[in-house]
Amino acid sequence: MEKLLISDFKEILNKLKDVMVENRDYLIEIDGIMGDSDLGLTMSAAFTAASDLAEDYSDDDIGTMLSKAGMAMSKAAPSTMGTLMGTGFMRGGKALKGKAEINLKNLYSFWDAFMTGLLDRGKAKIGDKTINDSLYPAVLVLKDESDRNSELYPAFQKALKAAEEGVEKATAMQAQFGKAAYYGEKSRGKVDPGSIVGKLLIETFTDYFKTQ
Amino acid sequence: MEKLLISDFKEILNKLKDVMVENRDYLIEIDGIMGDSDLGLTMSAAFTAASDLAEDYSDDDIGTMLSKAGMAMSKAAPSTMGTLMGTGFMRGGKALKGKAEINLKNLYSFWDAFMTGLLDRGKAKIGDKTINDSLYPAVLVLKDESDRNSELYPAFQKALKAAEEGVEKATAMQAQFGKAAYYGEKSRGKVDPGSIVGKLLIETFTDYFKTQ
Amino acid sequence: MKKFLNKPEQFVDEMLEGIYLAHPDKLKYVNNDLRCLVRADSKKGKVGISTGGGSGHLPLFLGYVGDGMIDGCSVGGVFQSPSADQMFEVTKAIDQGQGVLYIYGNYGGDIMNFDMAAEMADMEDIKVLQVVAGEDVASSPKGEEHKRRGVAGIFFVYKIAGAAADKMLSLEEVKRLADKAAANVRTMGVALSPCIVPEIGKPSFTIEDGQMEIGMGIHGEPGIDKGPLKTADETAQILVDKIVKDLPYEKGDEVAVLVNGLGATPKEELYVLYRKVSEILNKAGISVFHVFVGEIATSMEMAGLSLSLLKLDDELKELLAKPADTPFYKQFQL
Amino acid sequence: MKKFLNKPEQFVDEMLEGIYLAHPDKLKYVNNDLRCLVRADSKKGKVGISTGGGSGHLPLFLGYVGDGMIDGCSVGGVFQSPSADQMFEVTKAIDQGQGVLYIYGNYGGDIMNFDMAAEMADMEDIKVLQVVAGEDVASSPKGEEHKRRGVAGIFFVYKIAGAAADKMLSLEEVKRLADKAAANVRTMGVALSPCIVPEIGKPSFTIEDGQMEIGMGIHGEPGIDKGPLKTADETAQILVDKIVKDLPYEKGDEVAVLVNGLGATPKEELYVLYRKVSEILNKAGISVFHVFVGEIATSMEMAGLSLSLLKLDDELKELLAKPADTPFYKQFQL
Ligand SMILES: Nc1ncnc2c1ncn2[C@@H]1O[C@H](COP(=O)(O)OP(=O)(O)O)[C@@H](O)[C@H]1O
Ligand SMILES: Nc1ncnc2c1ncn2[C@@H]1O[C@H](COP(=O)(O)OP(=O)(O)O)[C@@H](O)[C@H]1O
Ligand SMILES: [Mg+2]
Ligand SMILES: [Mg+2]
Ligand SMILES: [Mg+2]
Ligand SMILES: [Mg+2]
């Protein structure tokens, strides 16, 4: 089975930064519809901080590096999504603490802890129209794939599909959390910006594995 | 020689009100160029108050009525021009105190006292680009005409001509008083709203005498 | 965007530099971070009170740090929560062994970060209790009060909690009183024009010419009714009706009133509105103990206002009446 | 025009009704005229201080009526002088046999009316002295100081005169100190957007998109430079340079600073500007005794600000530092 080293995670964090910077204006735009237009700014700031941290990290402990990246993110962007990303990376990193090599099983445990962190910190439930609604289905797929010892790329391809479907489903939901919740029924039919961030996370991992 | 009674002055104050109301928007407009756009409002308010007072005045003392009209004006419109009008009518009225009949000589003494009131209260000199610059030349003409025992209408026709010329001259001057003074050199070439009010005063008297 | 600023991304830090330069004897920062603001002096042995939230709402939040009010504030970017880390630094700086009360508005980012900060404080054995203020009746219906936005009414919560802490009451007791204030305040606002986040550079929402939005939040969150501009009296009637029915405030109740300007709206207009508010309350048999009129919680240059009522009892009244002296808010004994 | 009002022609009177309803223990009116405003209480045997001017500048002018400041204010329509009559009524109400000092801004209508009022007072044997405040350096060059507009700096004149009267000094002495304050203050402002007189309903002047007007007066009087919006630092530099050169303020001088918001400009921006002001003064060796930041003299919803410096000596400093308590302005001992 494939192994990921700390250099892979540095590269992935770097790609995540690029993706968030590329999607800066798009995220600003969709967060502007029912939110405060900051998501493009905060995600760029958060992932830049994470990537900078990773670049400077000189040890080989993947878990610790990801935890520290999470701390850096929550300092750099203390918005809802910044804090959730920070929490996710901190918790996910904790699950990988001490590891210098990672396989799909480990990667699933990262995402599982990440997801639990989001649910803990945000207190939103599945169906509340948040990032949870794209990320949670993807993490469920990763569990399956990890149980079945799949390869990374196909596993993430499936997870991405689930995340994309999650985005669609979230679009139809009524927002219960965050600024969009003030729109009540009117929030239905509008894309949830957080769910897009969830999808972008999985997509970036997927793309990375594709090119390996 | 023609005599004016209290009924004539009531009618003249009524006409002055009409004239100021008709010129409301025009005065607002020209006061807007270098002032605060209130001249149309204040002149309408002042002369409405004066006319209302005159209407209710039941005695035959022309001077007292005009003084009281002046007081009413300065209460109703305490702007520069309202205060000057108030002062003018108070001082002019004082000069006619106790009179129930008025001839051109008396009328000149009204305007003379009126003009002195303006100079006293406002402290502007001739040439400072104010109402003084249209009214003072007109009052000088009235002095001449009164010395020559002229008829009312031709006397005021000449006074009006002087007032009109005064407006032209004032236009070329640099403002030294009031809000327009902040424009310094730039105030040259722009009509002085107060000088227009001076002209309207004389014009209304002239028109009244024409129709008698 | 017409603003006095240099680089938009420096806006908050330069504002803070200006604040520290203007009030060196009253305010300072800790952890070498301008955004961790605390009182320069402090009363020994007192419960600490800390708040935090996005910038762009002055005098909210940091303006209430001072004598008789609160002790520290973590400062976020414009309309952005400060970080848990910053909150924790402020917590450490103001704790005097009696614990710290967090008072903040009901916004997702703030809640998560204050929760994180409380966890950090717990790890260092600093006792932290939290009060979340959310009183905008337009933001969520009755029965769903927990979803309501915190707006200008938080001022009352600071004032009550601050006076309580000043009386050297315990953390639990300060929290009880702050909770009581939070439970007894209701607010509703109305906006006439948007505001601009410097880093964004243009309004992130619009209100058309001749229109007003009733119930809009202080970051431009949607209101409950967008429609033609109403008169001051009509506006007052709508706000009072909705607020009074919600708690409900009843005949015989005594209240404090806050007429808050959102930024561009002149004080003149706030008083025109209060004239009607006073008349309506008077007719309803609700008596006004004191009215606060001015800019208490703003949205930069947004035009609009909000109305808050706080229902009083003897203990709240006593605390509300105590003096306060911060660089942004001064009150003599009422 | 987006304003909270009912009928534009009722704006001022309804505002005043709101003010009396909000502050019944502090303010009242005389002669059955809402526009003749005086303190509800008053210190016996003190010199009376009265002011007056157009509405639309709150807290100017009436906002400074109260403890430690002034005693009465006649209130005009928006940007309109009150009448001599009203000024005279206020004069009679606040005179306690020690005479009355008029303090007002250098505007034609106000001057004429206060002159008339002083004549009326003289006829009733009330001793009146007058101080005309005019300190806007942009409104007239050095050498023609008597033509300068009075703007936010009048706040300092009230404060000094009020504290002097409170010390039971004589009318002449209060005038001397007020004159000294007036002579030692300089102001300059900058506007970003116009304001609307309710009865006119639209702006009576314009400032184009992306433009600012340096030196504009608080009624929209023309400034000395219309041009592209400058940064906060550049703006601060222009204002400080012009003001400092004018008096001039010199190395070793001690000053009070006032950064005044004209209405729509948020406090955040005032502090960003002050940051630079402080730096420039510091470099010039001019020390700041105290800085006042906020809305002290506004033009309704105009966006912009003004900067004032008051040069202090020991007697001015002592008076400036005294507490004041009005419904619109509160200061603890500095
Ligand atoms: N309690 C929550 N738990 C999980 N996700 C949330 C929660 N509240 C909001 N979100 C997500 O956050 C997204 C908005 O993020 P962000 O722009 O950072 O929020 P804000 O600007 O309000 O702090 C929403 O689209 C939603 O997906
Ligand atoms: N000191 C003065 N003496 C005489 N006339 C004056 C004086 N100052 C201003 N004026 C006149 O007043 C006119 C403006 O009047 P008004 O609009 O009432 O002034 P404001 O609105 O400034 O009170 C000017 O056009 C000028 O003719
Ligand atoms: Mg957002
Ligand atoms: Mg005018
Ligand atoms: Mg403001
Ligand atoms: Mg304002």
Choose the mutation target among A75, A79, A177 for the interface with C, i.e. most C CBs under 10 Å.
Answer: A79
- Going by C-alpha positions, the residue among D145, D240, D138, D153 that lies closest to residue D191 is D138
Percent of chain D that is helix, strand, coil (3-state, to 5)? 35, 25, 40
Which of these is catalytic: C23, C146, C219, C290?
Answer: C219
Q: Specify the residue with its C-alpha closest to ligand 1, atom 25.
A: A194
Task: Estimate to the nearest angstrom the gap between the alpha carbon of B201 and the chain centroid.
Answer: 4
For residue D197, the SS3 value is coil
* Spatial contact of A11 and A17, defined as CB atoms under 8 Å apart: no
For residue C59, cis peptide bond before it (omega within 30 degrees of 0): yes
A131-147: per-residue pLDDT in tens? 999 999 999 999 999 99
Q: What is the pLDDT of residue A177?
A: 92
Question: Phi and psi of B97, rounded to 5°?
Answer: -50, 130
Closest CA to C153 of C180, C175, C176, C114: C180
Task: Tell me which DSSP letter residue C24 carries.
Answer: T
Return the ligand 2 atom nearest residue D108 CA.
Answer: 8
Of D82, D115, D204, the CB nearest to B36: D204
Kindly indicate the confidence band of residue B198, based on its pLDDT and cuts at 50, 70 and 90. very high
Distance D104 CA to ligand 4 centre (A): 18
Cβ-defined contact of D112 to B80 (cutoff 8 Å): yes
Environment class of D284 (CB within 10 Å of its CB; exposed 0-12, middle 13-18, buried 19+): middle
CB contact at 8 A, C247 and C214: no
* Nearest ligand, CA A80: 1
Q: Give percent above pLDDT 70 in chain B.
A: 100
| Low-confidence residues in chain A, pLDDT < 70 | 1
Residue D69 has pLDDT above 60, yes or no: yes
Alpha-carbon gap, residue D212 to D226, rounded angstroms = 6
Q: Which atom of ligand 2 is nearest to the CA of B129?
A: 27
Note whether D152 and D99 are within 8 A (CB). Answer: no
User: Which chain C residue has the Cα nearest residue D5?
Assistant: C232
User: Could you tell me the residue ranges of all domains in chain B?
Assistant: 4-210
- Collapsing DSSP states into helix, strand and coil, what is residue C143? coil
- The strand order across the sheet containing D225-228 reads D225-228, D211-214, D185-193, D303-311, D254-261, D287-294
pLDDT score recorded for residue A2: 83
3-state class (DSSP) for residue D111:
helix
Q: What pLDDT shows up at residue C204?
A: 76
Q: Are strands C225-228 and C330-331 parallel, antiparallel or unpaired?
A: unpaired
**pLDDT band, very low/low/confident/very high, at C8 (cuts 50, 70, 90):** very high
Contacts of B11 (CB under 8 A, 6+ apart): B208
Mean pLDDT of D236-258: 98
D230 pLDDT higher than 60 = yes
B84-117 pLDDT tens trace:
999 999 999 999 999 999 999 999 999 999 999 9
Encoded tokens for D111: 């001057």
Which residue spans within chain A are E strands per DSSP? 4-5, 101-102
Per the CB < 8 Å rule, is A38 touching C219? no
Please identify, by atom number, the ligand 1 atom nearest to the C-alpha of residue A81: 18
Q: Is the peptide bond before C228 cis (omega within 30 degrees of 0)?
A: no
pLDDT above 90 (res C294)? yes
Instruction: Note the Cα C332 to chain centre separation in Å.
Output: 20
In angstroms, what is the span from residue A36 Cα to ligand 3's centroid?
Answer: 4
**Of residues D6, D18, D273, nearest to C4 (C-beta):** D273
- Cα(D188)–Cα(C71) distance, integer angstroms: 36
Q: How far is C60 from B146, CA to CA, in rounded Å?
A: 72
Element (DSSP H or E) covering residue C302: none
- Joined tokens for residue D202: 């639209």
Is the CB of D108 less than 8 angstroms away from the CB of B78?
A: no
C43 has pLDDT over 90: no
D146 is catalytic: no
* Residue D149, both tokens: 């507009």
Write down the pLDDT at residue C67: 97
Let me know if C219 is a catalytic residue: yes
The residue of C31, C78, C83 whose CB has the most chain A CBs within 10 angstroms, and thus the best one to mutate to test that interface, is C83
Quick check: D207 pLDDT over 70?
A: yes
| pLDDT tens-digit map of B3-21 | 999 999 999 999 999 999 9
What is the Cα Rg of chain D in Å?
19
User: Which residues neighbour B135 within 8 Å (Cβ) at sequence distance 6 or greater?
Assistant: B114, B115, B118, B163, B166, B195, B198, B201, B202
To the nearest whole angstrom, how far is the Cα of B83 from the nearest Cα of chain D? 7
In whole angstroms, give the CA distance from residue D117 to residue D113: 6
- Residue of chain C nearest A81, judged by CA positions: C109
Does the pLDDT at position D42 exceed 90? no
Average pLDDT, rounded, for chain D: 96
CB contact at 8 A, D82 and D74 = yes
Closest CA relative to residue D288, chosen from D256, D252, D240: D256
pTM value is 0.92
Long-range contact pairs involving A92-97 (C-beta distance under 8 Å, separation at least 24) = A92/A66, A92/A117, A93/A62, A93/A63, A93/A64, A93/A65, A93/A66, A93/A67, A93/A68, A93/A69, A94/A63, A94/A67, A95/A63, A96/A62, A96/A63, A96/A66, A97/A61, A97/A63, A97/A64, A97/A67
Q: Give yes or no for D106 touching B (CB within 8 A).
A: no
The pLDDT value given to residue C199: 86
Stretch B144-165: mean pLDDT = 97
∠ CA D93-D95-D101, nearest 5°, is 115
- Residue B71 CA to residue B87 CA, distance in Å, equals 8
Mean pLDDT of chain B: 96
Under the banding of pLDDT at 50, 70 and 90, the label for residue B180 is: very high
Q: What confidence category does residue C200 fall into, taking pLDDT thresholds of 50, 70 and 90? A: confident
Smallest Cα–Cα separation from A127: which of A84, A162, A159, A170?
Answer: A170
CB atoms within 10 A of CB A78: 31
Residues of B in contact with D76 (CB under 8 A): 78
Mean pLDDT of all residues in C43-66: 97
- Alpha-carbon distance of A114 to A116, in angstroms, equals 6
CA A86 to chain CA mean position, Å: 10
Contacts of D84 in chain B (CB under 8 A): 74, 78, 83
Whose tokens are 């007052």? That residue is C236
Beta-carbon-side half-sphere exposure of residue C140 (alpha carbons within 13 Å): 19
* pLDDT on residue B93: 96
The CA-based angle A113-A118-A119, given to 5 degrees, is 95
| C-beta of residue D189 within 8 angstroms of C-beta of residue D307 | yes
The neighbourhood of ligand 3, an ion, using CB within 5 A, equals A 31, 35-36, 38-39
C-alpha–C-alpha distance, residues B120 and B84, integer Å: 10
Contact C136, C150 (CB under 8 A): yes
Pairwise pLDDT comparison (C204 vs B190), residue with the higher score: B190
Does the pLDDT of residue D204 top 80, yes or no?
A: no
Question: How many CB atoms within 10 Å of residue A5?
Answer: 13
Instruction: Using CB atoms, list chains with 3+ pairs below 8 Å to chain B.
Output: D
Provide the 8-state DSSP code for D95.
-
Token pair belonging to C15? 């504002």
CA closest to D306 among chain C residues: C4
pLDDT at B211: 86
Q: Does C198 touch chain A (CB under 8 A)?
A: no
Q: What is the mean pLDDT of residues C248-260?
A: 98
Q: Does the beta-carbon distance from A179 to C204 stay under 8 Å? A: no
Per-residue confidence at C46, pLDDT binned at 50, 70, 90? very high
Evaluate if residue B1 carries a pLDDT over 70: no
- Per-residue pLDDT band for D205 (boundaries 50, 70, 90) equals confident
Chain A closest-CA separation from residue C128 CA (Å) = 17
Q: What single-letter amino acid sits at B191?
A: V
Residue D43, pLDDT score: 86
Q: Is A135 in the pocket of ligand 1 (CB under 6 A)?
A: no
- How high is the pLDDT of residue C222? 87
- Check if the beta carbon of residue C330 is closer than 8 Å to that of residue C26: no
DSSP D106: S
Q: What is the pLDDT of residue C205?
A: 84
Burial state string for C169-197 with b = 16 or more CB within 10 A and e = fewer than 16: bebeebbbbbbbbbebbbbbbbbbbbbbb
CB contact under 8 A, D222 and B87: no
- CA-CA-CA-CA dihedral for B91, B97, B99, B104, to nearest 10: -20
ipTM value for the complex: 0.89
Rounded to whole angstroms, the Cα distance separating C229 from C231 reads 7
Q: Which chain C positions have a beta carbon within 8 Å of D268's beta carbon?
A: 11, 15, 55-56, 58, 300
| pLDDT (mean) for D142-163 | 96
Q: What domains are defined for chain D? A: 8-183 (3.40.50.10440), 185-331 (3.30.1180.20)
Calpha distance D324→D28 (Å, rounded): 18
**3-class state of residue D324 by DSSP:** strand
Confidence of residue C127 (pLDDT cuts 50, 70, 90): very high
DSSP designation for D116: H
pLDDT value for C42? 84
Fold type of domain A4-210: 1.25.40
B146 C-beta closer than 6 A to ligand 2: no
Atom of ligand 2 nearest to the CA of D79: 21
Triad B10, B11, B16: Cα angle to 5°: 100
pLDDT at B80 exceeding the cut of 80: yes
Q: What share of chain C is helix, strand, coil (3-state, %, to 5)?
A: 35, 25, 40
The average pLDDT across B20-30 equals: 97
Is any Cβ of chain A less than 8 angstroms from the Cβ of C85?
yes
Q: Given this model, what pLDDT does residue C123 score? A: 85
Neighbour subunits, C (≥3 Cβ pairs < 8 A): A, D
CB contact under 8 A, D222 and B183: yes
